[in-house]
């Protein structure tokens, strides 16, 4: 019986090793020169289908679907054992960040609108496939009470909090300032910058030296946008908030940085009631790379800012990822 037990144990050990090797081989770029990343980029769509979706927008409704899996990305355990909260984590950049954080070893809680439940569950499935926990926290970040409760719940259910990604956003295009209602102005600011303040203030109770805060800005916060006056104003505020908060927290050992993307294919723009389907079809094509970015192209920058191994001497930075544009800011 003892021999059979040892034999069974050896078989299980070999099977476990085979699974690990299979997973590792899938994660490895294909080809002698690691051609898979280049092939992946070459397959990114240059245009989208003409479309409109209802706000807040589901990623599952987009054509084509945004790419977040990052199959060529090779994790290295940079966030092993860390606990992260990501607002707007159900789709777009937030989903891609959540999945990469999980692949790097972090447990993640995501905040999202109740209408986005199906997207949030898909994000959860992908994060948990990496062997990490993913907690779902539905609610409205324009409510300061919810923001505080979301942070408390993330800390309680994850068993700690080390990383905060402020990413939730709202936008609606207009032709001129007079077209912005008081209600739209208020909603944009409460979602895009007030919520960053409320969530961050609540999180500081739990963040310790070595923690990191990462905000999502925008190219519009660097160079403005004539049809996104309120949105651009909030993104400029996020950039300044990042730099000011970095100065405020540096002595506490907490780093604060910001990623400022150009056009990225997420539900945000197709759900913009002020944009036409035809405009969505050519979204991003005016960039030097002649396309919108995919969420998986943005997510590694968040890993960089979250990782002490990569960016321990970096705080107060706004990293612009603009598809070849060099004049912003």
Nearest Cα neighbor of 169 from 272, 241, 83 is 272
Helix (H) or strand (E) holding 137: strand 134-138
Tell me what pLDDT residue 329 has: 58
In 3D space, the residue among 91, 82, 41 whose CA is nearest the CA of residue 292 turns out to be: 41
Give the sign of the dihedral formed by CA 268, CA 128, CA 130, CA 125. negative
Helices 92-103 & 295-306, crossing angle to 10 degrees? Answer: 50
Report the pLDDT value the prediction gives residue 36, as an integer from 0 to 100. 80
Neighbours of 176 (CB within 10 A): 9
Q: What is the pLDDT of residue 35?
A: 54
Q: For residue 310, give every residue at least 6 positions away whose Cβ sits within 8 Å of its Cβ, in sequence order, or none.
A: 78, 303, 304
Q: What is the mean pLDDT of each run of 10 residues along the chain (329 residues)?
A: 42 41 39 65 93 92 94 97 98 98 98 97 98 98 98 98 98 96 98 98 98 98 96 98 98 98 95 93 94 97 98 98 85
pLDDT recorded at residue 328: 66
* pLDDT (0 to 100) of residue 33: 42
Q: Which two tokens stand for residue 12?
A: 């299980």
Catalytic annotation, pick one of 73, 231, 302, 313:
231
Say whether domain 82-321 belongs to CATH 3.55.50.30: no
Helices within the chain (DSSP H only): 2-27, 36-42, 92-103, 117-128, 144-158, 182-189, 195-203, 220-223, 229-249, 277-281, 295-306, 308-311
pLDDT of residue 327: 79
302 is catalytic: no
What letter would DSSP give residue 179?
G
Does pTM surpass 0.85?
yes
How does DSSP classify residue 131? T
Q: Distance between CA 17 and CA 149 in Å, rounded?
A: 42
């Amino acid at each position: 019986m003892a021999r059979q037990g040892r034999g069974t144990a050896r078989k299980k050990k070999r099977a476990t090793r085979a699974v690990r090797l299979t997973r590792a081989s899938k994660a490895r770029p294909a080809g002698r020169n690691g051609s898979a990343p280049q092939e992946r980029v070459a397959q990114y769509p240059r245009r989208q289908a003409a479309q409109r979706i209802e706000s807040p927008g589901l990623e599952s409704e987009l054509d084509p679907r945004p790419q977040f899996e990052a199959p060529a990305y090779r994790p290295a355990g940079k966030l092993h054992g860390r606990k992260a909260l990501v607002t707007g984590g159900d789709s777009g950049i937030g989903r891609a960040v959540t999945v990469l954080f999980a692949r790097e070893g972090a447990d993640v809680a995501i905040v999202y609108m109740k209408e986005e439940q199906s997207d949030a569950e898909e994000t959860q499935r992908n994060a948990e496939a990496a062997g990490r926990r993913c907690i779902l926290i539905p609610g409205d970040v324009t409510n300061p009470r919810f923001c505080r409760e979301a942070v408390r719940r993330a800390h309680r259910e994850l068993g700690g909090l080390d990383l905060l990604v402020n990413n939730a956003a709202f936008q609606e295009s207009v032709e001129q300032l007079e077209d912005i209602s008081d209600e739209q102005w208020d909603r944009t600011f409460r979602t895009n910058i007030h919520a960053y303040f409320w969530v961050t203030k609540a999180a500081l109770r739990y963040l310790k030296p070595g923690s990191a805060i990462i905000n999502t800005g925008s190219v519009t916060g660097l160079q403005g946008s004539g049809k996104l006056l309120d949105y651009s104003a909030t993104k400029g505020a996020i950039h300044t908030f990042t730099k000011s908060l970095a100065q405020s927290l540096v002595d506490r050992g907490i780093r604060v940085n910001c990623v400022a993307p150009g056009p990225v294919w997420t539900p945000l723009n197709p759900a913009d009631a002020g944009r036409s389907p035809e405009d969505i079809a050519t979204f991003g094509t005016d960039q030097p790379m002649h396309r919108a970015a995919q969420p998986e192209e943005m997510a590694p920058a968040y890993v960089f800012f979250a990782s002490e191994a990569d960016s321990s001497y970096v705080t107060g930075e706004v990293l612009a990822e603009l598809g070849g544009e060099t004049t912003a800011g």
